[in-house]
């Protein structure tokens, strides 16, 4: 249905009439009529009726004024009531973007990609499925920083995740500092609804807060942390002297990640390939189900731009007509 946000502003429609009435003299005196010859009627600003503004222009100006008043009243279209998915979950995604995530031991559609590319691929689907959660994005390397604060704006979160580059946060891995920042952002949220998913491919090599101390802080704050260790355990590496099989995840501190998850009430997962990473996020979806509440709202579409735009077009058209009319008179009498 149509609605006006400020209907009382429609009273401005009569303002030109009030101003015209105020300017009108109390007693009208008949003015002498001076006959105008036919040769004077074609002079600029003189018409046969003595009125310099044609009646149709007055009507169009009145229409433009009414349109402007309508725009000020802010017309809106209020849609049907719809259900809004709402959940108590505040879920922060903490992603390692240190240089080790450049290792190309993941495969997407038969093509080798680096670990961060695989994480982006899987997280895009995960974010889409968590509709109703308040999500945030934390990136960390030597320093952690919040790339996207907790919000329901999944499109922006996916865009910021896609724009994340390896090495943007430094060349080391500060797992403890990342956990500390995540807890700081979640501690003011309702209890039993604070969740962190921390993904890394290495060990803690930097930072001011140790992972064990950060784990204690997270446990005291009631923050559950799900940890994911990413990276293949075996891959063939080609060199000048031939090929050899190596373990690209030799630096992964699985013991630390297991300890963090156990002490905070979460779980530790190991992702050696893209399918395993996809299954991990499916498991987290089951462990942290979306708890919807019945909330409804009516979508509102603002319509004030239409009458305002039409009034401006009318004003431009009248100005063009007046300019063209003046040009014709000058041409005729020039």
Percentages helix, strand, coil for the chain (3-state, rounded to 5) are 40, 25, 35
What's the mean per-residue pLDDT of the chain?
A: 84
Q: DSSP letters along 193-229, please?
A: -EEEEEEESS---S-SS-HHHHHHHHHHHT-EEEEEE
Q: What stretches of the chain show up as alpha helix (H) in DSSP?
A: 15-23, 55-72, 115-129, 154-163, 175-186, 211-221, 254-264, 274-287, 305-333
pLDDT in tens, 186-214: 988 777 679 999 999 999 999 999 999 99
pLDDT top residue among 19 and 268: 268
Spatial separation of the C-alpha atoms in residues 48 and 35, rounded to whole Å = 10
pLDDT in tens, 13-25: 888 877 777 665 5
The CATH class given to the 84-295 domain equals alpha beta
The stretch 218-246 carries a mean pLDDT of: 84
Spatial separation of the C-alpha atoms in residues 139 and 162, rounded to whole Å = 12
DSSP assignment letter at 133: B
| Domain range annotation of the chain | 54-79+303-334, 84-295
Spatial separation of the C-alpha atoms in residues 67 and 61, rounded to whole Å = 10
pLDDT top residue among 327 and 320: 320
* Residue 86: per-residue pLDDT: 57
Q: Check: CB of residue 274 under 8 Å from CB of residue 122.
A: yes
Spatial separation of the C-alpha atoms in residues 116 and 99, rounded to whole Å = 10
pLDDT top residue among 269 and 57: 269
How far, in Å, are 138, 155, 164 from residue 148 at the CA level? 7, 11, 11
Does pTM surpass 0.85?
no
* Residue 1: per-residue pLDDT: 80
The stretch 235-261 carries a mean pLDDT of: 84
* Residue 331: per-residue pLDDT: 67
């Amino acid at each position: 249905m149509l609605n006006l946000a400020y209907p009382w502003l429609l009273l401005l429609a009569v303002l030109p009439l009030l101003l015209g009435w105020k300017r009108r003299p109390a007693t009208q005196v008949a003015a002498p009529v001076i006959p105008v010859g036919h040769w004077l009627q074609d002079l600029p600003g003189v018409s046969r009726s003595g009125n310099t503004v044609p009646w149709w222009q007055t009507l169009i100006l009145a229409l433009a004024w009414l349109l402007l008043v309508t725009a000020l009243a802010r017309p809106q279209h209020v849609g049907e009531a719809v259900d809004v998915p709402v959940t108590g979950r505040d879920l922060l995604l903490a992603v390692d973007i240190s240089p080790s995530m450049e290792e190309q031991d993941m495969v997407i559609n038969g093509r080798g990609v680096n670990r961060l590319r695989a994480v982006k691929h899987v997280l895009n689907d995960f974010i889409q499925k968590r509709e109703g959660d308040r999500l945030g994005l934390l990136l960390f390397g030597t320093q952690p920083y919040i790339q996207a604060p907790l919000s329901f704006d999944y499109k922006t979160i996916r865009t910021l995740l896609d724009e994340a580059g390896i090495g943007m946060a430094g060349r080391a891995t500060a797992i403890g500092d990342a956990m500390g920042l995540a807890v700081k952002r979640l501690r003011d949220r309702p209890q039993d609804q604070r969740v962190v998913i921390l993904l890394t491919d290495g060990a803690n090599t930097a930072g001011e807060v140790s992972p064990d101390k950060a784990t204690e802080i997270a446990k005291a704050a009631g923050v559950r942390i799900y940890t994911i260790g990413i990276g293949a355990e075996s891959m063939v590496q080609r060199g000048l002297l031939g090929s050899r099989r190596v373990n690209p995840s030799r630096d992964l501190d699985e013991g630390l990640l297991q300890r963090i998850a156990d002490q905070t009430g979460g779980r530790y997962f190991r992702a050696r390939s893209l399918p395993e990473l996809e299954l991990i996020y499916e498991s987290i979806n089951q462990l942290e189900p979306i708890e919807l509440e019945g909330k409804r709202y009516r979508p509102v579409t603002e319509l004030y731009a239409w009458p305002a735009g039409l009034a401006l077009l009318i004003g431009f058209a009248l100005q063009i007509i007046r300019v063209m009319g003046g040009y014709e008179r000058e041409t005729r009498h020039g």
